[in-house]
Amino acid sequence: MLRRRLLVSLLMAAASWLPANAAPERLSDPLGLSLDQALAQGMEASLMLQQSEAEKATTAAGVGVSRSLFLPKLDVVGLGSWAQVGSSIGFISNLPTIGDLDLDLGGDGYAVIQNTFGNIGLALTYPLIDFERGPLLSAAKALDQAAAARIAEQRRQSRFAITNAYLNLQLSDSLIPVWQRSIALSSELLKDAEALRDGGLGARIDVFRARALLATDQRGLSAARSARAIAASALARLLNLPADQRVEATDPLLAESPWPLELQASIEAATRNRPALEVIAQAQAAAEAKVRAARGTMLPRVGLLLGGGISGDNLNVPVLNSSGRVSNVPVAGDLELPTLTSSGSASGSFYDYGVLLTLRQPLFDGGLSAQSAALARSQVDQQRLLLEQRKQTIIQAVETFWHTHRSAKAAMVSSREAVIATEEAVRDAQLRYRAGIAPVTELLLAQRDLQAARSAEATAIQQWNLSRAGLELETGRL
390-418 per-position pLDDT tens digit: 999 999 999 999 999 999 999 999 999 99
Identify whether residues 353 and 423 lie together within a single domain: no
DSSP SS3 for 27: coil
Residue 464 has pLDDT above 80, yes or no: yes
Q: What is the pLDDT of residue 8?
A: 42
| Shared-domain flag, residues 317 and 334 | yes
Q: Is residue 17 part of a domain?
A: no
From the list 88, 71, 137, 165, the residue with the least C-alpha distance to 322 is 88
Residue 329 and residue 245 share a domain: no
Q: What is the pLDDT of residue 427?
A: 86
The enclosing domain of 193 has a CATH number of: 1.20.1600.10
- Residue 16 resides in a domain: no
Distance between terminal CA atoms of the chain?
65
CB-facing half-sphere around the CA of 354: CA atoms within 13 A: 4
Q: In angstroms, rounded to a whole number, what is the distance separating the alpha carbons of residues 259 and 261?
A: 6
pLDDT in tens, 52-70: 999 999 999 999 999 999 9
Between 330 and 308, the more confident residue is 308
Pairing relationship of beta strands 333-336 and 325-329 according to DSSP bridges: antiparallel
Could you tell me if 348 and 419 lie in one domain? no
d(CA 54, CA 48): 10
Residues 249 and 151 in one domain: yes
CA distance 72 to 357: 14
User: Which of the listed residues 313, 329, 361 is the one where a domain comes to its end?
Assistant: 361
Higher-confidence residue of 137 and 349: namely 137
Q: Do residues 159 and 147 share a domain?
A: yes
Residue 369: is its pLDDT beyond 60? yes
Q: Which of 361, 378, 393 is the last residue of a domain?
A: 361
Domain that holds residue 211: 31-69+131-299+368-478
Give mean pLDDT, residues 105-125.
82
Q: Are 290 and 376 in contact (CB under 8 A)?
A: yes
Same structural domain, 37 and 160 = yes
478 located within any domain? yes
**256-274 confidence digits (pLDDT tens):** 999 999 999 999 999 998 9
Residues 120 and 138 reside in one and the same domain: no
431 with 471, same domain: the answer is: yes
Q: Is residue 312 part of a domain?
A: yes
Strands, DSSP E only, in 323-388? Answer: 325-329, 333-336, 340-360
| 9 within domain boundaries | no
pTM confidence score: 0.77
Residue 329 or 392, more confident: 392
Q: How many CB atoms lie within 10 A of CB 305?
A: 14
Closest Cα partner for 39 from 170, 159, 155?
A: 159
> Is 277 part of a structural domain of the chain?
yes
Dist CA 105 CA 96 (whole Å):
21
- Ramachandran assignment for 106, one of left (phi > 0), alpha (psi -120 to 50 degrees), beta (any other): left
Q: Are residues 199 and 265 in the same domain?
A: yes
**Is residue 449's pLDDT more than 70?**
yes
Domain boundary among 331, 361, 391: 361
Structure confidence at residue 377 as a pLDDT band (50, 70, 90): very high
Indicate whether 244 and 326 sit together in one domain: no
Of residues 331 and 309, more confidence is placed in: 309
Range in 147-161, 181-195, 457-471 the model is least confident about: 181-195
**What confidence score (pLDDT) does residue 342 get?**
65
Tell me the residue length of the chain. Answer: 478
Q: Distance (Å, rounded) from C-alpha 397 to C-alpha 405?
A: 12
Residue 78 three-state SS: strand
For the chain, what is the domain count? 2
Q: Are 120 and 142 members of one domain?
A: no
User: What is the reported pLDDT for 7?
Assistant: 42
| Residue 57 lies inside a defined structural domain of this protein | yes
Report pLDDT digits (tens) over 175-227. Answer: 998 888 888 888 887 887 777 677 666 667 778 887 888 898 899 899 999 99
Least confident of 9-23, 244-258, 334-348: 9-23
Could you tell me if residue 215 is inside a domain?
yes
